[in-house]
Amino acid sequence: MAISFNSGSDHDEDEVVSAINTTPLVDVMLVLLIIFLITIPVATHTVKVNLPVDRNHPTQTKAGNIVLAVMADGQAYWNEQPITDHAEMISKLTQAAGQKPQPQIQIRGDGAAKYADIGPIIAACQEAGIAHVDFITVPPHS
């Protein structure tokens, strides 16, 4: 009786393959290349517009300027006088728009004020015909 072991085939299966399969890497890279080739022309072809230039310079408060302050709770003030309703705001802004030269409107909004409180003031300025509206902020720390 003889026992035969096939040591050659079992030994070959246990060997570690040291070659890296780069086919999945190449596939992923080709897909990414195709995606970039498709999306780049869409990103570069936009409608040409002249964007405004940032002009951040300190505003001087003059005697004729009108300061509209908006508190965190939504209460608006016209030169330290509380404004009760939207009609009063429109009335005062229309009178200011009729002055020659037209005064600047400076909006001082509290940091916690919501846009829902400041937005109607901006719309009222536009409706009344105010040409110059400033937003007063704290200057950045240098």
Query: Using one digit for the tens of pLDDT, what is the confidence trace for 55-80?
Result: 666 666 667 788 899 998 989 999 88
Query: Using one digit for the tens of pLDDT, what is the confidence trace for 13-27?
Result: 667 777 888 889 999
Domain extent listing, the chain: 66-135
Residues 6+ apart with CB under 8 A from 83: 76, 77, 89, 92
Torsion of the alpha carbons at 86, 88, 93 and 96, rounded to the nearest 10? -170
**CATH annotation of 66-135:** 3.30.420.270
The model's pTM is 0.57
Residues 6+ apart with CB under 8 A from 74: 113, 114, 116, 117
Identity at 30, one-letter amino acid code: L
Give the Cα separation of 18 and 128 in Å (integer). 78
